[in-house]
Structure 1
Amino acid sequence: MTSPFSPEELAYLEAHKNDSRVSQIRWVYSVPIAAATLSTVMRLWAKRYGRNGITLDDYLILLATTCLIGQCASGLGFGPPHGMGKHVNVVSAYDQMMVRKGDYVFSHFYDIALVSVKLGILAFYYRVFVHPVFRRVVLATAAFVLAWGIGITVTLFLACRPLAAYWDRNVTGKCLVMLTFTYFTNISNLITDIWIFLMPMPMIWHLQLQTKKKMILSLIFCIGLATCVVSSIRLTIILGRGRPDFTWYYVPLGAYSVFEPLGGILCTNLPIIWHMFRKRQATLINASAFKSHSNSNSTPTIGSRRSRFAIALGITTRDRTQNGSGNGTGLGGDSVAGGVGDWQRLESMESQKPDPTIWTTVERVDTGGLDEGPSEAPLKPGMKKTVWNVRK
């Protein structure tokens, strides 16, 4: 049987037979599992924490994460144990067959992961943007992506007849030219990525927002273009599939095939997670400020709550009593008995004389449950007279 290698290539393989990319394979497939799982779990937690509910785009991203984990698991299971990451001249025929079988399983997970990410982004667009024309464009793009995914999945199932001929060279069969199929898949995938990530730009720039905010929104949506860069790099190394030293050249191809859907997953998860963290941080800061304000004042009283409510309505209160209780309400909204600073606030309030053209005086005599109404008679023990300045 004629060797697929030239004499120079055989000499190179013999000189580098101890080279290995096994360590690269392990971290290339381990990091995406952790990153995708963590980001998707945090996304779902953020949606539940914000009480926004789990929507269709969340389920699609969850499916994409599951397929990405399947990619990495098949790469780890069929790769290093069977010689992937080493030159083919030191890999047995059986291990070569297992690497090809792993590539077949890997390819199915890759295709479904890409379709799920694209449909998840489109579902998010449909939920956020309500313009009818844009929604029709989203639906048309989703139909194309779905048809594209079904087409490449069915084609991969029919790649060889019988199917075992795809990975076993001892089985006689008829197979498609997979290099041409791979080129078509990657070029159409790159064009679709660019189209999807640029779709919302016209909608953003027609919003009634400041130019700075429009640019920030555009940048957030264009982060996904990094996935297009990965697709482009993957397309440049696709020739590795046609080389006979496939156990060596599958390593960079598999790496880019994993990081491409991972980039889409992260681009859809991180904005949601970041927004929820900012919202939670603002809530904690407000709660801390309220607690600090409460602790810095003296023990609140019923009058203090009444004064805060009155100030919110534009009413100032002054508590003039002659029964020696010493209660009063200041701007801080707390009791002023016993504190020098509180007494100063009370004196400042007492020195402010209301403008008669703006304010009118309302008097109330509190007898412990019986309202006597305004009266000029001297107050009896246990009675309290309150004067309210109310806007006319």
Structure 2
Amino acid sequence: MLFKETFRDSWALLLFLCIANAPFVASQDSSSATELIGLLPNCSLPCLLDGVQAAACDLTALPECLCPNVALQSNISTCVQLSCTYKDQATVSVLSNKLCTGYPKESRQHQLLATAIACAAVVFPIVILRAISRLKVTSRLWLDDWMTVVATVILAALIGVVVTVTKLGFGLHYWNVDVTHAVPILKMMYVSEILYIVIQVAAKGSLLAFYARIFPNRKFQIAVWVGAAFLVGHGILFLGLVIFECRPVAAIWDRSLERQCLDLTKIALAGAALAIFEDIAFLIMPIPEILKLQLSTRKRIALLLVFSVGSFACITSMVRLKTVLIFGKSQDQTWDYVDGIIWSVVELSCALACAGLPALWPLIKSIPGVLSTVRGSKVRDLTDLTNREPSMRPKSKAMAGSQNLRFKELPKLPPEHYDSSERGERRSKFELKTKSSYMDMDSSSRDEDLELQSVARERSAF
């Protein structure tokens, strides 16, 4: 082993001497390359020698051979990371960037920025319109709406982190990143992992809250609570694993510290697998309840399609699973993790966007001339949902029975039935009587009545 190290050091010295003693006709670039190589830490010289020998580079034209060759730079960078301390790695990075000044650098930064902008442009308007639509129908936001709003705000923070790290050099090869940006990039990537878990739990939690609100069946409600407990437990467990993945925690971004870390690849794979399992389970959960509805087969299928929009988010989770296989193993993290970041943002964006699309139906119906041909048949069939017992059951028996009442529309009276003064007098008496009877109700009954009416209006909107 000692002989091997001595042999490598000797050849590294020989490499330096060969470049230094190149013919006088050598270019100025060769002279500057010689000076830079002379500043390299000793631990990196064997890596450079092995790479130069493998690529059969001309020693008098090292930059021309090294800088355009991404595979060669990758091999040398991996060797340096495994052989040198973090301080020496930083020195090599600075000298490497100086050596390759003026040469084009591969970049995927445009992909990251395009993904961030596209997801923001799709998700934010949908969530805003969802809130407007809900307020239009029920005059309030429900728990699932608030959870979606919270998840969207955190998603905005995550997109901001992605844009910031991209400007710092994420999307470039590790050896092309400014060494002064390494710690900020690693810190922000650590924060993004935490934000991802929080958004994921909030988005799926909003879906469960939506189920619990519109399907009052007791067994289904129990299933929703079990799913919520599993979701929260999964979130807390993986949040703890990610936050304390290394000891000390500062070693996650400060590579100069000695550290003991968990296997990030196994954590990422387990988390992705559980996320896909949850997606599938939550997707099929409402199917039995939908099939029980008193709707025609065609309307049942239409409603199933509305609820299955979230399957696209499940597909993106499966695609993302392929990208986490390299987590914790790559020596070119700022390049290899790009796909993982892109698909993480897409997955979360799809979950929030797909959950908001069905709620936009009342807003779409309010646009003049839009879907005018389906307002009659489809909406009338779907209003059968309003005859089901709402999730919030009324406390008074009288109100409970009133939910099953059906009213038959009476024919309109001819205008001449009443003269204008008599109609006005009758209307005033009716309004006074109605107001008086309503004021006689206790406040809790009035609140329940308004609550039930809101639920009924919202269900009919679907």
Residues 92-147 of structure 1: CA deviation (Å, up to 9, x unaligned): 33323322211111111111100000000000000000111011000110111011
Aligned-pair CA distance for 1:260: 0.8
1:71 aligned residue (136, 155, 158): 158
C-alpha distance in 2, partners of 1:253/1:284?
Answer: 40
Residue of structure 2 equivalent to 1:244: 331
The residue type paired with residue 169 of structure 1 is: R
Q: Higher helix fraction: Structure 1 or Structure 2?
A: 2
Q: 1:316 to 1:89 in 2, by over 3 A?
A: closer
Q: 1:12 to 1:274 in 2, by over 3 A?
A: farther
Q: 1:52 to 1:125 in 2, by over 3 A?
A: farther
More deviation, 95-104/63-72: 95-104
Residue of structure 2 equivalent to 1:322: none
Q: Higher strand fraction: Structure 1 or Structure 2?
A: 1
**Identity across the alignment (%):** 27
Is the partner of 2:256 in helix, strand or coil? coil
More deviation, 48-57/65-74: 48-57
Matched, 1:81 2:142: no
Matched, 1:23 2:110: yes
Aligned-pair CA distance for 1:26: 1.1
1:98 aligned residue (181, 184, 188): 184
C-alpha distance in 2, partners of 1:164/1:215?
Answer: 53
Aligned-pair CA distance for 1:162: 1.2
Aligned-pair CA distance for 1:245: 1.2
- Asked if 1 retains the 8 angstrom alpha-carbon contact of 2:283 and 2:311, the reply is yes
Residues 188-209 of structure 1: CA deviation (Å, up to 9, x unaligned): 0111111111111111112221
Rg larger for? 1
C-alpha distance in 1, partners of 2:161/2:205?
Answer: 24
- Asked if 2 retains the 8 angstrom alpha-carbon contact of 1:17 and 1:89, the reply is no
Structure-to-structure mapping, 1:192-203, within 5 angstroms: 192-203=278-289
C-alpha distance in 1, partners of 2:174/2:104?
Answer: 9
Residue of structure 1 equivalent to 2:270: 184
Residues 317-367 of structure 1: CA deviation (Å, up to 9, x unaligned): 79xxxxxxxxxxxxxxxxxxxxxxxxxxxxxxxxxxxxxxxxxxxxx9x9x
Residue of structure 1 equivalent to 2:72: 11
Aligned-pair CA distance for 1:158: 1.1
Matched, 1:272 2:359: yes
- Asked if 2 retains the 8 angstrom alpha-carbon contact of 1:234 and 1:256, the reply is yes
Residue of structure 2 equivalent to 1:230: 316
The residue type paired with residue 312 of structure 1 is: K
- Asked if 1 retains the 8 angstrom alpha-carbon contact of 2:127 and 2:356, the reply is yes
- Asked if 2 retains the 8 angstrom alpha-carbon contact of 1:17 and 1:87, the reply is no
Matched, 1:120 2:210: no
Q: Which has the higher contact order (CA 8 A, sep 6+)?
A: 2
- Per the normalisation by structure 2, the TM-score is 0.59
C-alpha distance in 2, partners of 1:311/1:67?
Answer: 54
The residue type paired with residue 96 of structure 1 is: A
Matched, 1:140 2:226: yes
Aligned-pair CA distance for 1:311: 6.6
More deviation, 95-104/53-62: 95-104
Q: 1:17 to 1:183 in 2, by over 3 A?
A: farther
Aligned-pair CA distance for 1:280: 4.8
Matched, 1:43 2:147: no
2:256 aligned residue (142, 151, 170): 170
Superposed CA RMSD in Å reads 3.1
The residue type paired with residue 29 of structure 1 is: A
Is the partner of 2:229 in helix, strand or coil? helix
Residue of structure 2 equivalent to 1:323: none
Residue of structure 1 equivalent to 2:412: 312
C-alpha distance in 1, partners of 2:370/2:319?
Answer: 43
The residue type paired with residue 259 of structure 1 is: V
Is the partner of 1:97 in helix, strand or coil? helix
Paired residues, number: 297
